[in-house]
C-alpha cells in the first residue's frame, strides 16, 4: 500500500522524542527525555468532582457536537486569561484547538505550499518541525543564544533577500533551549518582522511556569496585527484534556477555523466544559499552578546542581528561569551516538539533532527536569556525567523504580 502514499508523507519518520518514550518508560530508566508534565501533582479528586458536575449539569451540551471555533463559555474564559497576560482578545478572537499541537498543524496548512521558506529558531520544538514538515517547507534556521533568537541574524537573512512565509518562535523558557527572548529583542523582532511583512507565530506553552523574575510582555501584545499566538492548558493544567487555542488577526482566525472544521468538525465539548469549569474557580486553578511551579523549580535546581557536580569541564548549559528544559552543549560529543550507552546505564535524554531542521546539534542534548523526582534527577545526571567522562559505570539496578 505504501507506494500509494502521497509524496509528502514519504519523509515522515517517527520523531526521535516519540521513539524514546518507549525505552524511557522502562522502570529502570531515569527519563530526562520527554517533557511530560508531572500530573501526579494535580488534585485528582477535585478534577473528578468537576467532571461529574459537568456531566450532571450540562450533559446535553457536553455529549453533543459543538461549534468549530470552540465552546463559547470557554472562549470567554480564555479571552480573560489572555487579558491577564496583556493580550487584548475578544472571545471571537479565540479559536480552541486540540492542544497547541493542532494549532501548529493548522498554521502549517494555512501558510505553507511545498518549497516555501519558513523561519524557525535553531534549535526548535521537535513537534513544530514535525507539524510543519508535512507541508514540505524549506527551513531558514535562525541561531539562538542566552537571550533567545538572534534578531541580528534574522535581520541579516532578510537583508540578504530571505522572505519566509512566517517566523516560528517559542519566546518563554524555550523548548529545548530553556532560554527566554529578552524584552529588547522582542521589541526589535516585531519591528523587523513588521517591516519585512513576515508574520510571527508565538508558541507559549511555558510562559506561566515562571520560577523567578517578572513576566515579559508577549510578542502578540507588542504587535497584535502581525502575530498569531498559541496557548495551551497542557502545562498549566494537564495535557490529557487536549485544550489549546490561537489568538490571531480576525481574517486569520476565520481561515484557521475553516481548516479546523475540515480536520475534526470541533474539539471535544466534554473536555472544553471541564476546562471551563476548572478555570472558573480562580483560587483552585492558580493554587494548582503554584504547586506545579514549586515542584518544577525544585527539580530545575536539582538538575542544575547535579550538572555542576557531575558534568565534565568544557560542558556548558542554560539556566532556565521557568519551564521544563535545560540545554547542554558538550564540545566534541556525539549525543546521538551516545544515547544507546546512556539508556544501557539507565538514563535517557533527547539528542540535539532532534531539534534542528538540518539535523545538526550532535554536540547538544536536552534534559527535561519536569517528571522525575529530585533524587532521580541527581542520579540520572550523575550516570550521564560518568558516561561523558568515559569512566566505568555500574549498570542500572534492575528493580529501580526511579524515572
Ligand atoms: C513548544 C511547544 N509547543 C507546543 C507543544 C504542544 O503542546 P500541546 O499539549 O498543547 O499540544 C509543546 C509540547 O510539549 C511544546 O513544548
pLDDT score, position 12: 66
CA 225 remoteness from chain centre: 23
Q: Is the minimum distance from the CB of 100 to ligand 1 under 6 angstroms?
A: yes
pLDDT score, position 250: 96
pLDDT score, position 22: 74
pLDDT score, position 70: 98
Distance 227 CA to ligand 1 centre (A): 18
Q: Is the minimum distance from the CB of 101 to ligand 1 under 6 angstroms?
A: yes
Q: Is the minimum distance from the CB of 130 to ligand 1 under 6 angstroms?
A: no
pLDDT score, position 8: 81
pLDDT category of residue 390 using cuts at 50, 70 and 90: confident
pLDDT score, position 403: 34
pLDDT of 85-123, one tens digit each? 899 999 999 999 999 999 999 999 999 999 999 999 999
**Nearest atom in ligand 1 to 239's CA:** 9
pLDDT score, position 278: 98
Q: Is the pLDDT of residue 299 over 80?
A: yes
Distance 127 CA to ligand 1 centre (A): 7
pLDDT score, position 264: 97
Q: Mean pLDDT over all residues of the chain?
A: 94
pTM of the model: 0.94
Q: Is the minimum distance from the CB of 97 to ligand 1 under 6 angstroms?
A: no
Do residues 65 and 266 touch, judged by C-beta distance below 8 A? yes
Longest dimension (CA), the chain: 63
**Nearest atom in ligand 1 to 243's CA:** 10
Q: Is the minimum distance from the CB of 176 to ligand 1 under 6 angstroms?
A: no
pLDDT score, position 401: 36
Task: Quote the percentage of the chain above a pLDDT of 70.
Answer: 94
Q: Is the minimum distance from the CB of 99 to ligand 1 under 6 angstroms?
A: yes
Q: Is the minimum distance from the CB of 70 to ligand 1 under 6 angstroms?
A: no
Distance 398 CA to ligand 1 centre (A): 32
pLDDT score, position 400: 41
Q: Is the minimum distance from the CB of 35 to ligand 1 under 6 angstroms?
A: yes
- Residue among 99, 267, 271 whose CB has most ligand 1 atoms within 8 A, to mutate: 99
Q: Whole-angstrom Cα distance, residue 368 to residue 126?
A: 14
Q: Is the pLDDT of residue 402 over 70?
A: no
Side-chain half-sphere of 249: how many Cα atoms within 13 Å?
Answer: 10
Distance 175 CA to ligand 1 centre (A): 9
pLDDT of 163-186, one tens digit each? 999 999 999 999 999 999 999 999
Q: Whole-angstrom Cα distance, residue 125 to residue 96?
A: 21
Owner of C-alpha cell 539562538:
144
Q: Is the pLDDT of residue 20 over 90?
A: no
pLDDT score, position 15: 61
pLDDT of 258-287, one tens digit each? 999 999 999 999 999 999 999 999 999 999
pLDDT score, position 2: 84
pLDDT score, position 93: 97
Q: Is the pLDDT of residue 394 over 80?
A: no
- Residue among 175, 233, 267 whose CB has most ligand 1 atoms within 8 A, to mutate: 175
Amino acid at each position: 500500500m505504501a507506494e500509494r502514499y502521497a509524496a509528502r508523507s514519504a519523509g515522515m519518520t517517527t520523531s526521535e522524542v516519540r521513539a524514546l518514550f518507549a525505552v524511557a518508560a522502562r522502570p529502570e530508566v531515569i527519563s530526562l527525555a520527554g517533557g511530560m508534565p508531572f500530573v501526579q501533582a494535580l488534585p485528582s479528586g477535585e478534577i473528578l468532582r468537576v467532571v461529574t458536575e459537568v456531566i450532571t449539569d450540562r450533559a446535553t451540551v457536553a455529549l453533543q457536537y459543538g461549534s468549530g471555533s470552540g465552546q463559547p463559555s470557554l472562549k470567554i474564559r480564555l479571552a480573560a486569561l489572555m487579558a491577564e497576560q496583556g493580550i487584548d482578545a475578544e472571545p471571537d478572537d479565540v479559536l480552541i484547538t486540540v492542544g497547541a499541537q493542532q494549532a501548529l498543524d493548522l498554521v502549517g496548512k494555512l501558510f505553507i505550499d511545498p518549497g516555501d521558506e519558513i523561519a524557525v529558531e535553531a534549535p526548535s520544538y521537535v513537534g513544530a518541525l514535525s507539524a510543519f514538515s508535512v507541508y514540505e517547507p524549506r527551513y531558514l534556521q535562525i541561531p539562538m543564544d542566552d537571550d533567545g533568537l538572534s534578531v541580528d541574524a534574522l535581520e541579516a537573512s532578510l537583508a540578504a533577500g530571505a522572505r519566509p512565509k512566517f517566523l516560528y518562535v517559542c519566546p518563554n523558557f524555550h523548548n529545548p533551549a530553556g532560554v527566554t527572548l529578552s524584552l529588547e529583542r522582542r521589541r526589535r523582532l516585531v519591528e523587523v518582522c513588521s517591516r519585512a511583512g513576515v508574520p510571527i507565530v508565538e508558541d507559549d506553552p511555558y510562559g506561566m511556569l515562571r520560577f523567578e523574575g517578572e513576566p515579559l510582555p508577549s510578542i502578540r501584545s507588542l504587535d497584535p496585527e502581525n502575530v498569531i499566538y498559541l496557548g495551551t492548558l497542557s502545562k498549566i493544567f494537564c495535557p490529557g484534556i487536549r485544550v489549546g487555542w490561537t489568538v490571531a488577526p480576525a481574517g486569520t482566525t476565520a481561515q484557521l477555523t475553516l481548516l479546523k472544521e475540515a480536520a475534526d468538525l470541533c474539539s471535544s465539548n466534554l473536555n472544553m466544559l471541564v476546562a471551563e469549569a476548572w478555570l472558573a474557580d480562580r483560587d483552585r486553578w492558580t493554587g494548582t499552578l503554584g504547586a506545579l511551579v514549586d515542584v518544577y523549580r525544585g527539580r530545575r535546581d536539582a538538575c542544575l546542581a547535579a550538572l555542576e557536580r557531575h558534568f565534565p569541564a568544557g560542558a556548558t548549559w542554560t539556566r532556565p528561569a521557568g519551564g521544563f528544559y535545560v540545554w547542554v552543549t558538550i564540545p566534541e560529543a556525539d549525543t546521538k551516538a551516545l544515547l544507546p550507552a546512556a539508556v544501557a546505564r539507565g538514563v535517557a535524554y533527547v539528542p540535539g539533532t532532534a531539534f534542528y531542521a538540518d539535523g545538526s546539534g550532535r554536540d547538544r542534548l536536552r534534559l527535561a527536569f519536569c517528571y522525575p523526582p529530585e533524587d532521580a534527577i541527581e542520579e540520572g545526571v550523575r550516570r550521564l556525567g560518568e558516561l561523558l567522562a568515559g569512566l566505568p559505570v555500574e549498570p542500572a539496578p534492575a528493580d529501580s523504580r526511579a524515572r
